[in-house]
Structure 1
Amino acid sequence: MSKSLLCLVLIISVLFCSCIPTKDLIYLQKKDNSQTEATISAVESKPYRLQTNDVLSITIKAIDPKLVAIFSTTNQGEAGKSESALYFDGFTVDDHGNIRVPVLGEINVIGYTLDEIRLRIEKQLLAEYFNKEANIFVTVKLAGFRYTINGEIGSTGTKTLFQEHVTIMEAIANSGDITITGDRKAVTIMRKTPTGVQMHDLDLTNVNTMKSPYFYLQPNDYILVKPLKQKTWGTGKTGIESFGTITTLFSVATTIFFLLFKN
Protein backbone atom coordinates (compact mmCIF):
# COMPACT_ATOMS: atom_id res chain seq x y z
CA MET A 1 0.00 0.00 0.00
CA SER A 2 2.82 2.35 0.87
CA LYS A 3 4.49 1.69 -2.49
CA SER A 4 1.27 2.44 -4.34
CA LEU A 5 0.85 5.66 -2.41
CA LEU A 6 4.44 6.62 -3.13
CA CYS A 7 3.95 6.03 -6.85
CA LEU A 8 0.75 8.09 -6.81
CA VAL A 9 2.49 10.98 -5.07
CA LEU A 10 5.38 10.77 -7.53
CA ILE A 11 3.04 10.85 -10.53
CA ILE A 12 1.12 13.83 -9.15
CA SER A 13 4.37 15.68 -8.42
CA VAL A 14 5.68 15.14 -11.94
CA LEU A 15 2.30 16.14 -13.33
CA PHE A 16 2.27 19.47 -11.52
CA CYS A 17 5.94 20.24 -12.13
CA SER A 18 5.69 19.62 -15.86
CA CYS A 19 2.65 21.85 -16.38
CA ILE A 20 3.11 25.50 -17.34
CA PRO A 21 1.32 27.73 -14.80
CA THR A 22 -1.07 30.40 -16.02
CA LYS A 23 0.93 33.18 -14.35
CA ASP A 24 3.81 32.41 -16.72
CA LEU A 25 1.57 32.99 -19.76
CA ILE A 26 -0.20 36.27 -18.94
CA TYR A 27 1.43 39.51 -20.08
CA LEU A 28 1.95 42.66 -18.00
CA GLN A 29 0.66 41.51 -14.62
CA LYS A 30 0.77 43.57 -11.45
CA LYS A 31 3.19 41.70 -9.20
CA ASP A 32 2.76 43.77 -6.03
CA ASN A 33 -0.67 42.22 -5.21
CA SER A 34 -2.17 45.69 -5.09
CA GLN A 35 -5.85 45.99 -5.95
CA THR A 36 -5.65 49.69 -6.75
CA GLU A 37 -5.26 50.88 -10.30
CA ALA A 38 -1.81 52.26 -10.96
CA THR A 39 -0.74 54.38 -13.89
CA ILE A 40 2.37 53.06 -15.60
CA SER A 41 4.33 55.69 -17.47
CA ALA A 42 6.25 54.09 -20.29
CA VAL A 43 9.75 55.40 -20.86
CA GLU A 44 9.90 57.54 -23.97
CA SER A 45 12.12 56.09 -26.65
CA LYS A 46 15.28 58.00 -27.47
CA PRO A 47 15.68 59.30 -31.03
CA TYR A 48 17.30 56.65 -33.18
CA ARG A 49 20.75 57.46 -34.51
CA LEU A 50 21.55 56.00 -37.89
CA GLN A 51 23.90 53.10 -38.41
CA THR A 52 25.48 51.49 -41.44
CA ASN A 53 23.13 49.55 -43.76
CA ASP A 54 20.11 51.62 -42.72
CA VAL A 55 17.92 52.59 -45.66
CA LEU A 56 16.44 56.09 -45.81
CA SER A 57 13.49 57.43 -47.72
CA ILE A 58 14.07 61.10 -48.59
CA THR A 59 11.39 63.22 -50.21
CA ILE A 60 11.94 66.80 -51.37
CA LYS A 61 8.91 68.87 -52.36
CA ALA A 62 8.33 72.42 -53.53
CA ILE A 63 5.56 74.60 -54.96
CA ASP A 64 6.76 73.68 -58.44
CA PRO A 65 7.54 69.93 -58.50
CA LYS A 66 9.77 70.38 -61.55
CA LEU A 67 12.25 72.38 -59.47
CA VAL A 68 13.02 69.43 -57.18
CA ALA A 69 12.69 66.57 -59.69
CA ILE A 70 16.46 66.40 -60.16
CA PHE A 71 16.95 65.58 -56.46
CA SER A 72 14.80 62.45 -56.62
CA THR A 73 15.80 58.95 -57.69
CA THR A 74 12.20 57.97 -58.48
CA ASN A 75 8.82 59.45 -59.21
CA GLN A 76 7.81 60.99 -55.88
CA GLY A 77 4.16 60.94 -56.83
CA GLU A 78 4.25 57.16 -56.68
CA ALA A 79 2.26 55.87 -53.71
CA GLY A 80 2.13 52.60 -51.86
CA LYS A 81 5.69 51.47 -52.48
CA SER A 82 6.52 47.93 -51.50
CA GLU A 83 9.28 47.04 -49.07
CA SER A 84 11.54 45.87 -51.89
CA ALA A 85 10.91 49.09 -53.84
CA LEU A 86 11.89 51.17 -50.82
CA TYR A 87 15.08 49.14 -50.48
CA PHE A 88 16.17 49.62 -54.09
CA ASP A 89 15.00 53.23 -54.43
CA GLY A 90 16.05 54.37 -50.95
CA PHE A 91 19.37 55.74 -49.77
CA THR A 92 21.51 53.11 -48.05
CA VAL A 93 24.05 54.18 -45.45
CA ASP A 94 27.38 52.77 -46.63
CA ASP A 95 30.29 51.49 -44.54
CA HIS A 96 31.67 55.02 -44.28
CA GLY A 97 28.38 56.36 -42.92
CA ASN A 98 27.43 58.24 -46.09
CA ILE A 99 24.45 58.35 -48.42
CA ARG A 100 24.54 59.57 -52.02
CA VAL A 101 21.81 62.03 -52.95
CA PRO A 102 21.39 63.26 -56.55
CA VAL A 103 22.98 66.70 -57.05
CA LEU A 104 23.75 67.09 -53.33
CA GLY A 105 26.36 64.34 -53.48
CA GLU A 106 27.57 62.40 -50.46
CA ILE A 107 26.15 63.31 -47.06
CA ASN A 108 27.50 61.83 -43.85
CA VAL A 109 24.60 60.61 -41.73
CA ILE A 110 26.12 58.08 -39.34
CA GLY A 111 25.18 58.87 -35.74
CA TYR A 112 22.62 61.52 -36.72
CA THR A 113 18.88 61.45 -36.04
CA LEU A 114 16.33 61.72 -38.82
CA ASP A 115 15.41 65.28 -37.80
CA GLU A 116 19.06 66.35 -37.83
CA ILE A 117 19.50 64.99 -41.35
CA ARG A 118 16.33 66.72 -42.53
CA LEU A 119 17.55 70.06 -41.21
CA ARG A 120 20.97 69.59 -42.84
CA ILE A 121 19.42 68.86 -46.24
CA GLU A 122 17.01 71.80 -45.97
CA LYS A 123 19.87 74.11 -45.01
CA GLN A 124 22.02 72.96 -47.94
CA LEU A 125 19.15 73.31 -50.42
CA LEU A 126 18.34 76.86 -49.28
CA ALA A 127 22.00 77.86 -49.23
CA GLU A 128 22.94 76.50 -52.66
CA TYR A 129 19.86 76.02 -54.84
CA PHE A 130 16.67 77.72 -53.62
CA ASN A 131 15.36 80.74 -51.79
CA LYS A 132 12.72 80.73 -49.08
CA GLU A 133 9.96 81.58 -51.56
CA ALA A 134 10.33 78.10 -53.10
CA ASN A 135 8.78 76.62 -49.92
CA ILE A 136 11.08 73.62 -49.81
CA PHE A 137 9.65 70.75 -47.78
CA VAL A 138 11.94 67.82 -46.89
CA THR A 139 10.87 64.53 -45.34
CA VAL A 140 13.41 62.00 -44.06
CA LYS A 141 12.26 58.62 -42.79
CA LEU A 142 13.57 55.13 -42.37
CA ALA A 143 12.39 52.82 -45.14
CA GLY A 144 10.47 50.76 -42.60
CA PHE A 145 11.12 49.76 -38.98
CA ARG A 146 13.05 46.50 -39.25
CA TYR A 147 13.68 43.98 -36.48
CA THR A 148 14.53 40.28 -36.25
CA ILE A 149 12.83 37.82 -33.92
CA ASN A 150 13.76 34.20 -33.24
CA GLY A 151 13.12 31.37 -30.83
CA GLU A 152 9.77 30.33 -29.35
CA ILE A 153 7.62 32.59 -31.51
CA GLY A 154 4.81 31.95 -33.96
CA SER A 155 6.62 33.43 -36.96
CA THR A 156 10.38 33.90 -36.86
CA GLY A 157 12.50 36.01 -39.18
CA THR A 158 13.14 39.64 -40.08
CA LYS A 159 10.02 41.81 -39.94
CA THR A 160 9.34 45.33 -41.19
CA LEU A 161 6.69 47.66 -39.79
CA PHE A 162 5.90 50.99 -41.41
CA GLN A 163 5.57 53.13 -38.30
CA GLU A 164 7.77 55.47 -36.29
CA HIS A 165 7.83 53.64 -32.95
CA VAL A 166 7.46 49.94 -32.13
CA THR A 167 7.15 48.35 -28.68
CA ILE A 168 8.22 44.83 -27.81
CA MET A 169 4.56 43.89 -27.41
CA GLU A 170 3.73 45.12 -30.92
CA ALA A 171 6.69 43.23 -32.37
CA ILE A 172 5.58 39.99 -30.69
CA ALA A 173 1.97 40.45 -31.79
CA ASN A 174 3.16 41.05 -35.36
CA SER A 175 5.13 37.79 -35.19
CA GLY A 176 2.32 35.47 -34.14
CA ASP A 177 2.77 35.70 -30.34
CA ILE A 178 5.10 33.70 -28.10
CA THR A 179 4.34 29.97 -28.08
CA ILE A 180 3.10 28.30 -24.91
CA THR A 181 6.60 26.91 -24.31
CA GLY A 182 8.28 30.31 -24.69
CA ASP A 183 9.77 32.01 -21.63
CA ARG A 184 7.93 35.31 -21.28
CA LYS A 185 9.96 36.17 -18.18
CA ALA A 186 13.29 36.44 -20.00
CA VAL A 187 12.88 37.80 -23.53
CA THR A 188 16.31 38.94 -24.68
CA ILE A 189 16.81 42.16 -26.65
CA MET A 190 20.10 42.52 -28.53
CA ARG A 191 20.83 46.07 -29.66
CA LYS A 192 23.72 47.40 -31.73
CA THR A 193 25.33 50.58 -30.44
CA PRO A 194 28.46 52.52 -31.43
CA THR A 195 30.27 50.86 -28.50
CA GLY A 196 29.14 47.31 -29.26
CA VAL A 197 26.14 45.05 -28.75
CA GLN A 198 23.98 45.47 -25.65
CA MET A 199 21.86 42.61 -24.30
CA HIS A 200 18.95 42.95 -21.89
CA ASP A 201 16.25 40.57 -20.64
CA LEU A 202 12.64 41.72 -20.27
CA ASP A 203 10.04 40.10 -18.02
CA LEU A 204 6.92 40.52 -20.13
CA THR A 205 4.72 39.10 -17.38
CA ASN A 206 5.46 42.16 -15.23
CA VAL A 207 3.67 45.43 -15.97
CA ASN A 208 6.70 47.40 -14.75
CA THR A 209 8.51 46.28 -17.90
CA MET A 210 6.82 49.24 -19.58
CA LYS A 211 9.22 51.45 -17.62
CA SER A 212 12.26 49.82 -19.22
CA PRO A 213 14.15 51.71 -21.94
CA TYR A 214 14.09 48.45 -23.91
CA PHE A 215 10.28 48.33 -23.97
CA TYR A 216 10.48 50.51 -27.08
CA LEU A 217 12.52 48.80 -29.77
CA GLN A 218 15.05 50.46 -32.01
CA PRO A 219 15.54 49.59 -35.68
CA ASN A 220 17.66 46.47 -36.26
CA ASP A 221 17.02 45.07 -32.76
CA TYR A 222 17.27 41.29 -32.41
CA ILE A 223 14.69 39.58 -30.17
CA LEU A 224 15.30 36.10 -28.77
CA VAL A 225 12.57 34.14 -26.99
CA LYS A 226 14.10 31.25 -25.06
CA PRO A 227 12.18 28.01 -24.32
CA LEU A 228 10.86 27.03 -20.91
CA LYS A 229 12.43 24.04 -19.17
CA GLN A 230 9.13 22.17 -19.59
CA LYS A 231 9.81 21.91 -23.32
CA THR A 232 13.06 20.00 -22.80
CA TRP A 233 11.36 17.58 -20.41
CA GLY A 234 8.95 16.54 -23.14
CA THR A 235 6.23 15.56 -20.67
CA GLY A 236 3.65 17.96 -22.09
CA LYS A 237 2.57 21.58 -21.93
CA THR A 238 -0.75 21.06 -20.13
CA GLY A 239 -2.00 18.78 -17.38
CA ILE A 240 -3.80 16.52 -19.86
CA GLU A 241 -0.70 16.15 -22.04
CA SER A 242 1.47 15.42 -19.01
CA PHE A 243 -1.02 12.87 -17.69
CA GLY A 244 -1.12 11.18 -21.09
CA THR A 245 2.68 11.01 -21.23
CA ILE A 246 2.95 9.58 -17.72
CA THR A 247 0.18 7.05 -18.42
CA THR A 248 1.96 5.91 -21.58
CA LEU A 249 5.27 5.51 -19.76
CA PHE A 250 3.58 3.61 -16.95
CA SER A 251 1.88 1.28 -19.44
CA VAL A 252 5.17 0.61 -21.22
CA ALA A 253 6.94 -0.07 -17.93
CA THR A 254 4.17 -2.43 -16.81
CA THR A 255 4.26 -4.32 -20.11
CA ILE A 256 8.04 -4.74 -19.93
CA PHE A 257 7.78 -5.93 -16.34
CA PHE A 258 5.24 -8.63 -17.17
CA LEU A 259 7.19 -9.75 -20.23
CA LEU A 260 10.44 -10.10 -18.31
CA PHE A 261 9.32 -11.45 -14.96
CA LYS A 262 6.08 -13.33 -15.52
CA ASN A 263 7.40 -15.90 -17.97
Structure 2
Amino acid sequence: MTFSNSDLSGKVALVTGGSRGIGAATAVRLARGGADVAVTYVRGKEGAEEVVGTVRALGRRAVALRADSGDPEEAAGAVGLAAEALGGRLDVLVNNAGVGVLGPLESLPLAEVDRVLAVNVRGVFLASQAAAARMESGGRIITVGTCLTQRVPGPGGTLYAMSKSALVGLTKALARELGARGITANVVHPGPTDTDMNPADGPYAAGQAELTALGRFGTAAEVASTVAYLAGADYVTGAEFVVDGGHAA
Protein backbone atom coordinates (compact mmCIF):
# COMPACT_ATOMS: atom_id res chain seq x y z
CA MET A 1 0.00 0.00 0.00
CA THR A 2 1.41 3.39 -1.00
CA PHE A 3 -0.02 6.86 -0.70
CA SER A 4 0.70 10.24 -2.18
CA ASN A 5 2.79 12.66 -0.14
CA SER A 6 1.17 13.91 3.06
CA ASP A 7 1.70 17.59 3.82
CA LEU A 8 3.28 17.62 7.27
CA SER A 9 4.79 21.08 7.04
CA GLY A 10 5.37 22.57 10.48
CA LYS A 11 4.67 19.30 12.29
CA VAL A 12 6.94 17.74 14.90
CA ALA A 13 7.21 13.95 15.06
CA LEU A 14 8.84 11.42 17.35
CA VAL A 15 9.70 7.97 15.98
CA THR A 16 10.76 5.48 18.64
CA GLY A 17 13.31 2.93 17.55
CA GLY A 18 14.18 5.15 14.62
CA SER A 19 17.81 4.19 14.03
CA ARG A 20 17.17 1.49 11.44
CA GLY A 21 14.61 -0.49 9.45
CA ILE A 22 11.01 0.66 9.47
CA GLY A 23 11.72 3.35 12.07
CA ALA A 24 14.49 4.95 10.03
CA ALA A 25 12.46 4.82 6.82
CA THR A 26 9.51 6.37 8.64
CA ALA A 27 11.58 9.21 10.05
CA VAL A 28 12.91 10.10 6.60
CA ARG A 29 9.45 9.75 5.01
CA LEU A 30 7.90 12.12 7.56
CA ALA A 31 10.70 14.61 6.94
CA ARG A 32 10.07 14.44 3.20
CA GLY A 33 6.51 15.44 4.03
CA GLY A 34 7.76 18.51 5.89
CA ALA A 35 8.00 17.34 9.50
CA ASP A 36 10.79 17.90 11.98
CA VAL A 37 11.72 14.55 13.48
CA ALA A 38 13.18 13.09 16.66
CA VAL A 39 14.25 9.45 16.79
CA THR A 40 15.10 7.27 19.74
CA TYR A 41 17.63 4.48 19.89
CA VAL A 42 19.17 2.15 22.47
CA ARG A 43 22.31 0.73 20.87
CA GLY A 44 22.12 2.13 17.35
CA LYS A 45 23.66 5.54 17.94
CA GLU A 46 25.51 5.57 14.63
CA GLY A 47 22.38 4.63 12.69
CA ALA A 48 20.31 7.23 14.53
CA GLU A 49 22.85 9.94 13.75
CA GLU A 50 22.79 8.89 10.09
CA VAL A 51 19.00 9.29 10.07
CA VAL A 52 19.35 12.72 11.67
CA GLY A 53 21.84 13.71 8.97
CA THR A 54 19.46 12.60 6.23
CA VAL A 55 16.57 14.52 7.76
CA ARG A 56 18.65 17.67 8.12
CA ALA A 57 19.79 17.34 4.52
CA LEU A 58 16.10 17.57 3.61
CA GLY A 59 15.96 20.95 5.34
CA ARG A 60 14.18 19.75 8.48
CA ARG A 61 15.24 19.81 12.12
CA ALA A 62 16.18 16.50 13.70
CA VAL A 63 17.53 15.04 16.93
CA ALA A 64 18.56 11.59 18.13
CA LEU A 65 17.76 10.61 21.72
CA ARG A 66 18.96 7.57 23.60
CA ALA A 67 15.88 6.11 25.28
CA ASP A 68 15.00 2.53 26.17
CA SER A 69 11.28 1.94 25.69
CA GLY A 70 11.52 -0.85 28.25
CA ASP A 71 12.44 1.66 30.95
CA PRO A 72 9.28 3.44 32.14
CA GLU A 73 11.00 6.76 32.85
CA GLU A 74 12.83 6.78 29.52
CA ALA A 75 9.79 5.66 27.54
CA ALA A 76 7.71 8.57 28.80
CA GLY A 77 10.60 11.02 29.12
CA ALA A 78 11.61 10.74 25.47
CA VAL A 79 8.36 12.47 24.50
CA GLY A 80 9.18 15.57 26.52
CA LEU A 81 12.80 15.60 25.39
CA ALA A 82 11.77 15.37 21.74
CA ALA A 83 9.25 18.17 22.06
CA GLU A 84 11.68 20.45 23.89
CA ALA A 85 14.43 19.82 21.34
CA LEU A 86 12.16 20.68 18.41
CA GLY A 87 10.35 23.79 19.55
CA GLY A 88 8.20 22.71 22.48
CA ARG A 89 5.44 20.82 20.66
CA LEU A 90 4.64 17.31 19.47
CA ASP A 91 2.16 16.51 16.71
CA VAL A 92 2.96 12.93 15.69
CA LEU A 93 4.07 9.95 17.77
CA VAL A 94 5.13 6.79 15.94
CA ASN A 95 5.44 3.90 18.38
CA ASN A 96 7.88 1.79 16.42
CA ALA A 97 10.33 0.48 19.03
CA GLY A 98 9.81 -3.17 19.77
CA VAL A 99 11.52 -6.45 20.52
CA GLY A 100 10.74 -9.83 19.03
CA VAL A 101 11.39 -13.03 20.94
CA LEU A 102 10.42 -16.24 19.19
CA GLY A 103 10.57 -19.70 20.63
CA PRO A 104 8.58 -22.62 22.03
CA LEU A 105 6.02 -21.57 24.59
CA GLU A 106 7.29 -23.93 27.27
CA SER A 107 10.88 -22.66 27.06
CA LEU A 108 10.27 -18.91 27.28
CA PRO A 109 11.85 -17.61 30.51
CA LEU A 110 10.00 -15.08 32.64
CA ALA A 111 12.72 -12.48 32.03
CA GLU A 112 12.02 -12.61 28.30
CA VAL A 113 8.27 -12.33 28.89
CA ASP A 114 8.77 -9.29 31.09
CA ARG A 115 11.14 -7.63 28.62
CA VAL A 116 8.83 -8.10 25.62
CA LEU A 117 5.80 -6.80 27.49
CA ALA A 118 7.79 -3.89 28.92
CA VAL A 119 8.92 -2.69 25.50
CA ASN A 120 6.06 -3.72 23.24
CA VAL A 121 3.14 -2.88 25.52
CA ARG A 122 4.04 -0.79 28.56
CA GLY A 123 6.49 1.39 26.64
CA VAL A 124 3.90 2.12 23.95
CA PHE A 125 1.26 2.92 26.57
CA LEU A 126 3.55 5.30 28.47
CA ALA A 127 4.77 7.09 25.35
CA SER A 128 1.20 7.47 24.12
CA GLN A 129 0.10 8.75 27.52
CA ALA A 130 2.89 11.34 27.58
CA ALA A 131 2.24 12.36 23.99
CA ALA A 132 -1.50 12.76 24.52
CA ALA A 133 -0.78 15.15 27.39
CA ARG A 134 1.14 17.41 25.01
CA MET A 135 -0.83 17.09 21.79
CA GLU A 136 -3.38 19.58 20.55
CA SER A 137 -6.12 18.97 18.00
CA GLY A 138 -4.58 17.34 14.96
CA GLY A 139 -2.31 15.10 17.01
CA ARG A 140 -1.55 11.64 15.64
CA ILE A 141 -0.56 8.46 17.49
CA ILE A 142 0.52 5.70 15.11
CA THR A 143 1.70 2.34 16.38
CA VAL A 144 3.59 -0.34 14.48
CA GLY A 145 2.16 -3.79 15.12
CA THR A 146 2.71 -6.99 13.14
CA CYS A 147 1.00 -9.27 10.65
CA LEU A 148 1.00 -11.91 13.40
CA THR A 149 -1.97 -10.16 14.98
CA GLN A 150 -3.90 -11.16 11.84
CA ARG A 151 -2.53 -14.64 11.22
CA VAL A 152 -0.02 -16.80 13.09
CA PRO A 153 1.13 -19.37 10.52
CA GLY A 154 3.19 -21.57 12.82
CA PRO A 155 4.48 -22.21 16.34
CA GLY A 156 6.95 -20.08 18.24
CA GLY A 157 5.29 -16.69 18.00
CA THR A 158 2.99 -16.77 21.02
CA LEU A 159 4.74 -14.14 23.15
CA TYR A 160 5.37 -11.72 20.29
CA ALA A 161 1.87 -12.07 18.84
CA MET A 162 0.33 -11.54 22.28
CA SER A 163 2.31 -8.38 22.92
CA LYS A 164 1.49 -6.85 19.56
CA SER A 165 -2.18 -7.86 19.73
CA ALA A 166 -2.48 -5.79 22.90
CA LEU A 167 -1.72 -2.74 20.76
CA VAL A 168 -4.91 -3.22 18.77
CA GLY A 169 -7.02 -2.80 21.90
CA LEU A 170 -4.87 0.11 23.02
CA THR A 171 -5.29 1.85 19.67
CA LYS A 172 -9.06 1.48 19.58
CA ALA A 173 -9.34 2.73 23.17
CA LEU A 174 -7.07 5.70 22.46
CA ALA A 175 -9.20 6.59 19.44
CA ARG A 176 -12.30 6.72 21.64
CA GLU A 177 -10.61 8.54 24.49
CA LEU A 178 -8.85 11.17 22.40
CA GLY A 179 -11.27 11.62 19.51
CA ALA A 180 -13.14 14.50 21.14
CA ARG A 181 -9.84 16.39 21.27
CA GLY A 182 -9.18 15.87 17.55
CA ILE A 183 -6.38 13.37 18.15
CA THR A 184 -6.36 10.14 16.14
CA ALA A 185 -4.83 6.75 16.88
CA ASN A 186 -4.15 3.97 14.37
CA VAL A 187 -2.03 0.85 14.07
CA VAL A 188 -0.05 -0.42 11.08
CA HIS A 189 0.68 -4.14 10.75
CA PRO A 190 3.73 -4.88 8.57
CA GLY A 191 4.20 -8.29 7.03
CA PRO A 192 7.64 -9.79 6.28
CA THR A 193 9.73 -6.68 5.68
CA ASP A 194 13.28 -6.45 4.37
CA THR A 195 15.37 -5.02 7.22
CA ASP A 196 18.71 -5.85 8.76
CA MET A 197 16.86 -7.80 11.47
CA ASN A 198 14.93 -9.87 8.92
CA PRO A 199 16.64 -9.57 5.54
CA ALA A 200 14.85 -10.69 2.39
CA ASP A 201 17.85 -12.91 1.58
CA GLY A 202 18.12 -14.39 5.07
CA PRO A 203 17.98 -18.10 5.93
CA TYR A 204 14.27 -18.04 6.77
CA ALA A 205 13.18 -15.52 4.15
CA ALA A 206 11.93 -17.89 1.46
CA GLY A 207 9.38 -19.49 3.77
CA GLN A 208 8.11 -16.10 4.92
CA ALA A 209 7.78 -14.82 1.36
CA GLU A 210 5.78 -17.91 0.38
CA LEU A 211 3.23 -17.07 3.09
CA THR A 212 2.32 -13.81 1.32
CA ALA A 213 -0.03 -13.55 -1.63
CA LEU A 214 2.54 -11.46 -3.51
CA GLY A 215 5.33 -13.91 -2.83
CA ARG A 216 7.84 -11.33 -1.65
CA PHE A 217 9.05 -9.28 1.26
CA GLY A 218 7.86 -5.72 1.66
CA THR A 219 10.20 -2.77 2.01
CA ALA A 220 10.55 -0.44 4.96
CA ALA A 221 9.60 2.42 2.63
CA GLU A 222 6.27 0.75 1.83
CA VAL A 223 5.39 0.60 5.51
CA ALA A 224 6.63 4.15 6.08
CA SER A 225 4.36 5.40 3.30
CA THR A 226 1.31 4.16 5.18
CA VAL A 227 2.51 5.72 8.43
CA ALA A 228 3.01 9.04 6.67
CA TYR A 229 -0.50 8.87 5.24
CA LEU A 230 -1.94 8.37 8.71
CA ALA A 231 0.16 11.25 10.04
CA GLY A 232 -1.68 13.52 7.64
CA ALA A 233 -5.14 11.91 7.66
CA ASP A 234 -7.96 13.68 9.52
CA TYR A 235 -10.88 11.25 9.38
CA VAL A 236 -9.16 7.94 10.09
CA THR A 237 -8.90 6.66 13.66
CA GLY A 238 -9.14 3.42 15.61
CA ALA A 239 -8.17 1.53 12.46
CA GLU A 240 -5.79 -1.29 11.58
CA PHE A 241 -3.82 -0.93 8.35
CA VAL A 242 -2.32 -4.19 7.11
CA VAL A 243 0.78 -3.79 4.92
CA ASP A 244 1.64 -7.46 4.57
CA GLY A 245 1.60 -8.43 0.90
CA GLY A 246 -1.40 -10.64 1.53
CA HIS A 247 0.03 -12.57 4.49
CA ALA A 248 -3.43 -12.66 6.08
CA ALA A 249 -5.31 -13.43 2.85
TM class by shorter chain equals under 0.3
TM-score, length-scaled by structure 2? 0.21
Larger Rg: 1
TM-score (norm 1): 0.20
Please state which structure has a larger fraction of its residues in strand.
1
Structure richer in helix, relative to its length:
2
Relative contact order, CA 8 A, sep 6+: which one is greater?
Answer: 1
